[in-house]
Amino acid sequence: MCGIVAILDIAGDAAKLRTEVLAMARRLRHRGPDWSGIAVYDNAVIGHERLAIVGVDSGAQPLYSNNRQVALGVNGEIYNHSNLRQNLASNYSFQTHSDCEVILALYEQQGADNAQVWLNELNGMFAFVLYDDEQKRYLIARDPIGIIPLYYGRDDQGRLYVASEMKSLVDHCQTVSSFPPGHYLDSTNGEIKAYYQPQWREVEQSQQAYDPKALREGLESAVKRQMMGDVPYGVLLSGGLDSSLVAAIAQRYAERRVDTDDQEAAWWPRLHSFAIGLKGSPDLAASRVAADRLGTAHHEFEFTLDEGLDALSDVIYHIETYDVTTIRASTPMFLLARRIRAMGIKMVLSGEGSDELFGGYLYFHKAPNAQAFHEETVRKVGKLHLFDCLRANKSMAAWGVEVRVPFLDLPFVDMAMQMNAEHKMTGPERMEKHVLRQAFDGYLPDSILWRQKEQFSDGVGYGWIDALKDHAEANVSDRQLADAAQRFPVNPPQSKEAYWYRTIFEQHFPSAAAAATVPGGPSVACSTPAALEWDRAFAEMADPSGRAVRDVHSQSL
């Protein structure tokens, strides 16, 4: 994980903005503590804070073309870079071992005018700024799902600012926005355009039949691709289905990755797994069962309610949101990331994205038909960059740890979203994500393979959410909540817990522009607002916890 910052459309002496970019980059150094770099041209300044994962010996950024007329600042990983390198090497002289240098090669060979085409050749998570000094032209792009964060805004002189996190922009820009996933900006026209336009977004219902073997092989390939790296890595293992499947697959490949003739092989064959929770939490117990079966080097960490509450201000500063469910889940993840980095691990694999692809949240039990089910998964995948991807990326990056999400590997996303939702539908005899569970029969103990969905903020211990609500009740008055819309006209909080988080967010980011970057709207068990229509009772229990689905969750609220 890295951090990028840039100032573009500069009129005047760009060198005078060097100090400003360095200060902006310093706010992102937690994302990339290994090295800093900066490129200064007449019309652009690009800064970079590096977390070295691939090509640690030669991948310092910004990266440059051979004539140094083109500079590239990237945050991310390109998982198919080896194949792209082989295809591009005949016409491009690679200077580093960085996976991200293939972006420069694609640009050099195909040009900015064809960006809409060659961006789709990249399989990875990324956000980048590319500046061509010869053409006085720049490109900005973000990966199709939005796994990597990216923000942009303009100052009162019309200069364009870009950064991995909002905190680097708010003191300089009049407006700040999240750069949309799957889009790019070419300075020649100044328009943000989509390059990623999968068919499954447009159809009312996908028609692909369920093929358990293809599904299994697809996820195995995704995990294997994302294990690339030159540093120690691990897996997050909550004991839920998704993280356990990723861990099971990673363990199988970790045992084979000891052949020194294999360029993608790691030189530390033992896979480490990590879990966190309150004492006696469901996740800690389940993760222990999974780890014992898989044979990982497992590490459990307990946190106390006071430790979680004490961390909240730092959590909100780093994740840059006041969304209730995101903060609930981000706090234990933030605490876990610190322990992981202290053990020398710089990259972890995680299970984010599965629930969006397969309708794994418990409210999907209420979907009235396959079309509604599919449309909700499309909405959920489209909002991942505002919720789960944001949480996972920023919680881990706060301590210089990169998180990778194999379920969101593009070929697997397409496979999952093209599956007829009739196969994904739940019912009395069909548990949520049953297609995944059936496809991986034998990979995990049955108690894990068929464990009911627990949202991370629930699984770390039900007392965590209860403590947050109790603290908010004790510290936010009825009058304050009643007047919330006057104090917070942008997305006014609807509960005392939400009000409390909003006040902390305002302390760090007081501008209306910052507040507008956070999504709003009612939710039950992480649903989109549209899904509230599925059950009348949802209006009475609108809480993002999975326990809000009272007749589905075994420990409902």
pLDDT tens digits, residue range 476-518?
999 999 999 999 999 999 999 999 999 999 999 999 999 999 9
- Predicted confidence at residue 457, as pLDDT, reads 59
Averaged pLDDT for residues 379-385? 97
Rg (CA), the chain: 23
Told to judge if 100 belongs to the known catalytic residues of this protein, a careful annotator would answer: no
Q: Residue 396 in contact with residue 402, Cβ under 8 Å? A: yes
| pLDDT surpassing 50 at residue 546 | no
- CA nearest 349: which of 460, 267, 440, 245? 245
Confidence band for 6, pLDDT divided at 50, 70 and 90: very high
How far is the C-alpha of 496 from the C-alpha of 480, rounded, in Å?
9
- Predicted confidence at residue 12, as pLDDT, reads 84
Decide which of 83 and 13 is more confident.
83
| Domain architecture of the chain: domains with CATH | 3-197 (3.60.20.10), 212-475+521-548 (3.40.50.620)
Averaged pLDDT for residues 15-30? 96
How far is the C-alpha of 220 from the C-alpha of 214, rounded, in Å?
10
How far is the C-alpha of 71 from the C-alpha of 38, rounded, in Å?
10
Confidence band for 258, pLDDT divided at 50, 70 and 90: very low
Q: Residue 433 in contact with residue 360, Cβ under 8 Å? A: yes
**Which member of 2, 100, 173, 389 is catalytic?**
2
How far is the C-alpha of 194 from the C-alpha of 505, rounded, in Å?
31
- CA nearest 366: which of 437, 432, 459? 432
Q: Residue 483 in contact with residue 493, Cβ under 8 Å? A: no
Beta bridge partners of 194: 183
Q: Residue 415 in contact with residue 215, Cβ under 8 Å? A: yes
| pLDDT surpassing 60 at residue 261 | no
Averaged pLDDT for residues 442-466? 85
Tens digit of pLDDT for each residue in 275-321? Answer: 999 999 999 999 999 999 999 999 999 999 999 999 999 999 999 99
| pLDDT surpassing 80 at residue 557 | no
CA atoms within 13 A on the CB side of 167: 22
* Residue 270, helix vs strand vs coil: coil
